[in-house]
Amino acid sequence: MDRRRFLSLSLITAATTALATTGPAPAGAATSRCSFTPDGSGFLLDGAPFQIRSGELHPARIPVEYWQHRIRMAKAMGLNTVSAYVMWNYVEESPGVFDFTTDRRDIVSFLKLCQQEGMWVLLRPGPYVCGEWDLGGIPPYLLQYPYIKLRVKTADDPHYMAAVTRYYGRLVPLIEPLMIDNGGPVLMVQVENEYGSYGSDAAYLEEIRQLWLAGGVHGPFYTQDGIGQVAANHTVVTGGAIGLSGGDAASIAQARSDYPTVPAMAGEVYPGWLTHWGDSTFQGQGTDISGTLRGLMAAKLSFNLYMLHGGTSFGFTAGANADDSSGNYQPDITSYDYAAPVTEQGRATDAYTRYRTLIAGYLTSPPPAVPDPVPTLARAGGLDLMPARHASLWDNLPAPLPAARTVDPQPMESYGQNSGLILYSRRLTGYTGGPLAVRWVHDYATVFLDGHYAGGLYRQTLPAAVTAALNIATANNPLTLGTSGVSGSPQLDILVEGLGRTNYGHALVDRKGILETVTVNGSAPLTGWTTTSLPLDDAFVAGLQPTVTDPHRPGIFFRAQVRIDTPADTYLDLSHWTKGVVWVNGRNLGRYWNIGPQQRLYCPAPWLRAGLNEVIVLDLHQTDPLPLTLQSTLAGPAVGSPAIGPAGWRLVYVDSQETAAENGAAGNAFDGNPATFWHTQWSALNAPLPHEIQLDLGARYAVDSFSYLPRQDGSANGRIGRYEIYVSDSTTAWGAPVATGTLADTASRTTLTLPTTPGRYLRLRALTEAGNRGPWTSAAELGVTGVAI
């Protein structure tokens, strides 16, 4: 899809087509035919005017067990067509090794299911798809060639089109029987994708089209581009229609003016938008395409909603954006919710209802009923998880790669590795500290000296609070290494995580790992590396040896078990964790990262089982386990939930308060007066730590933040250091803490974002005093935000 909103749209009256509601005939029935009107004004189905009303679904992003539900959601919205990508790198992960049959790769079964449900299909098989998918769907194995050129004709590169030809040699025979003129559901096949945003070589597009013709598929075809790119680069194909990214009635009219004999449709109408790690919030939530849809329906013009339902970029499949020099790198989050009308979990949003009503107003018969939502599993008694250390990455390293191939650091693609981690190690003789300079880290690295964490490296910028807490050098700046606690010849380990490969623009050749050189303190480039490939595939995780030799060295796999009586969809809340990957019952849910905005990973019910379920968390930074919770939605209440006024609060319990030598009563911590404060007893007895206070909030809330204001009288005594926070519906069964950590030794207010947790009671435990000044606790004001439930 077009990642640039550079679409120039003019207000021109649209051409018209007629509505049609006919779906594909069952398999084996009489064939139909899709064609174009002689004057190029629209599409025909068996010679009658036909409006394509499509919604985008990606089978690779949807659990197979939910394919039917999502297709039915599309049909119930008044649509008659499903648009679907085939992700080439998902069906051919290694050269010549194809898988079109297992799990979410079975495109034939998906297409047949669309036909069974009475839906036509727009097939988008690449070879390049973009789609916020790693490398835009192109296999990373092609990056093993040093001078590879992507998206070019055979004459321009000896490898790329040879691989495309091999891919189409396996794909086209699967699709040919499913074309409309063979009785199948496929109306049209897209040739490449948004090529006009990349190039203008008509010979390349024609070479791809010829591969379809050679396999017996004679169209109809179509291309997909922004209106500006179509006009500038003429990226249309012989006998092909035009799909417009960001299209509406006006842009269709403009395309018809530029290409009067070629039918056009709004091939990507955006009801939402994509989100990157580090964005302030989930993007696209305020989008309303009612006006665009109304214009398309009134003029009977064809369209495709991108996305109707985004789904999830499970595992390591999420892509990234970068500028054309590979700078301004922005990896995509795991969720592909996209603020689409159907959520990641498959539920209808208010926008879905609004658009369904709008579309139905133009149809001759009402759409079918909306399918029932899939049940969800929210947190409840016993569903909080407290993982334990399970295995250390460092105790489970496989054999390194042959030394002859690792003299210089090279990216993972050089070794046939597609994703995960890659480790570069060597001794630093005569070490005296200084800057560690890496050209270039793609994308995120943790650095160790003699097994001790020394800091990190990230390809792009990060918030100052993150870099300070973890000592991360950003934007490929050097990381300063010290000498404290290390030998004169320490072992240097650079563990590099490959995030998503760029999926849009001219910087597609986005290799992962260390791309060129490493120097320390201005040395010559270091050679003689030991390199270890860590793709973190399912077999590696399943075979982990439960050994943790050094529990203080980051790179630990944590394990939890949770018993579930009836599996249902859920989200694992990882807001207590830092950065890593999660597996549930051996399924890779994807990446998490505390820079947000995503803090929860979707786990579909079919990946759970009745009884015990195993959760594995690999965190690149944390060495102590923290709680996980099961939630029912991608996000909790929006940032800025209302404060819960303390007027209705009641003190349930306090273990200690000073009321003899000063007014240190616990009630001062929620009286609304910062000048008063709670202080634990000190005049007659120095009550020992830990201390705690329990509050009744007066009603049940979905609590999502907690704030702490230390005493404001100038004294530092009693400032809370390490803490635990609990939220519960019972004062006798608190469960696991919803937050733990250490507060700074300052007089400033601290506000903590909590995993959204329902409950009436709040418990604060102070485990230490911030400055170790005594066994005391004090608090001027405690604050809580949340939504009443």
Q: Going by C-beta distance under 8 Å and a sequence separation of 6 or more, which residues neighbour residue 312?
A: 61, 62, 334, 335, 336, 344, 589, 590, 602
Of the residues 92, 192, 194, 724, only one is catalytic, namely 194
CB 596 within 8 A of CB 724: no
Give, in degrees to the nearest 5, the angle at Cα 649 between 645 and 652: 155
Whole-number Å distance between alpha carbons of 594 and 599: 7
Torsion of CA 251, 253, 255, 256, to 10 degrees: 170
Of 121, 107, 122, residue with least CA distance to 23: 121
Whole-number Å distance between alpha carbons of 554 and 236: 52
Whole-number Å distance between alpha carbons of 123 and 201: 22
Q: Which residue has the tokens 């550079």?
A: 6
Give me 237's structure tokens: 């194909």
User: Is residue 268 flagged as an active site residue?
Assistant: yes
Whole-number Å distance between alpha carbons of 439 and 445: 12
Backbone angles phi, psi at 172, to 5 degrees: -60, -40
Give, in degrees to the nearest 5, the angle at Cα 538 between 532 and 539: 70
Q: How many CB atoms lie within 10 A of CB 360?
A: 15
Backbone angles phi, psi at 258, to 5 degrees: -75, -35
Of the residues 117, 268, 692, 769, only one is catalytic, namely 268
User: Is residue 176 flagged as an active site residue?
Assistant: no
Residue 516, sorted as left (phi over 0), alpha (psi -120 to 50) or beta, turns out to be alpha
CB 262 within 8 A of CB 237: no
Torsion of CA 402, 405, 407, 412, to 10 degrees: -100
Backbone angles phi, psi at 648, to 5 degrees: -95, 5
Give how far Cα 190 sits from Cα of 90, 105, 236, 547, Å: 18, 19, 11, 50
The SS3 call for residue 280 is: coil
DSSP for 620-680, written as a single string: SS--S---BEEESSSS-SPTTPPB--GGG-EEEEES--B-SSS-B-GGGGGSS-TT--EE-
Order of all β-strands in the sheet with 48-50: 34-36, 43-45, 48-50
Of 46, 61, 173, 190, residue with least CA distance to 122: 190
Whole-number Å distance between alpha carbons of 454 and 589: 29
Residue 492 half-sphere exposure toward CB, CA atoms < 13 A: 30
Residue 147, sorted as left (phi over 0), alpha (psi -120 to 50) or beta, turns out to be alpha
Which residues face 461 on adjacent strands? none
Give, in degrees to the nearest 5, the angle at Cα 193 between 270 and 415: 115
* Residues of the chain by 3-state class (helix, strand, coil), percent to 5: 20, 30, 50
CB 136 within 8 A of CB 128: yes
Whole-number Å distance between alpha carbons of 93 and 105: 11
The beta strands (E) that lie in 485-569 are given as 491-497, 513-520, 530-534, 556-564
The dihedral built from the CA positions of residue 472, 475, 479 and 480, taken in this order, carries a sign that is negative
The SS3 call for residue 293 is: helix
CB 112 within 8 A of CB 27: yes
For the annotated catalytic residues, the residue numbers are: 194, 268
